[in-house]
Amino acid sequence: MEKTAILLVNLGTPDEPTPASVRTYLNEFLSDRRVIDLPRIQWLPVLHGIILRVRPKKSAELYKSIWAEQGSPLLLNSQKQHAALQQRFRFEHMKVALAMNYGNPSVSKELDKLHKWGVRKLIVLPLFPQYSSSTTASVWDNVVITISKWRDVPELVFIRDFPDHPLFIDLLTNRIKECITKNGDPDCVVLSYHGIPVRYADTGDDYPKRCQKTTAAIQKQFPNVSIIECYQSKFGKEPWIEPSTSETLQALAQQGKKHVIILAPSFTADCLETLEELEEENKNIFMEAGGESYHYLPAANDDPLFIDALEDIICKYIN
Task: Kindly report, residue by residue over 109-122, the tens digit of the pLDDT.
Answer: 999 999 999 999 99
Going along the chain from its start, the domains and CATH numbers come out as: 4-161+305-315 (3.40.50.1400), 166-296 (3.40.50.1400)
The model's pLDDT over 253-303, given as tens digits with 9 standing for 90+, comes to 999 999 999 999 999 999 999 999 999 999 999 999 999 999 999 999 999
Rounded to whole angstroms, the Cα distance separating 225 from 261 reads: 11
% of residues, the chain, pLDDT over 70: 100
- Whether pLDDT at 96 is above 90: yes
Average pLDDT over residues 6-16: 98
CB atoms within 10 A of CB 151: 4
Average pLDDT over residues 190-211: 98
Question: What is the chain's mean pLDDT, rounded?
Answer: 97
Rounded to whole angstroms, the Cα distance separating 184 from 225 reads: 12
pLDDT confidence tier of residue 211, bands split at 50, 70 and 90: very high
pLDDT confidence tier of residue 1, bands split at 50, 70 and 90: confident
- Whether pLDDT at 214 is above 80: yes
The model's pLDDT over 26-74, given as tens digits with 9 standing for 90+, comes to 999 999 999 999 999 999 999 999 999 999 999 999 999 999 999 999 9
Average pLDDT over residues 194-223: 98
- Whether pLDDT at 319 is above 90: no
Q: Are strands 155-158 and 121-126 parallel, antiparallel or unpaired?
A: parallel
Q: In this predicted structure, what is the pLDDT of residue 237? A: 87
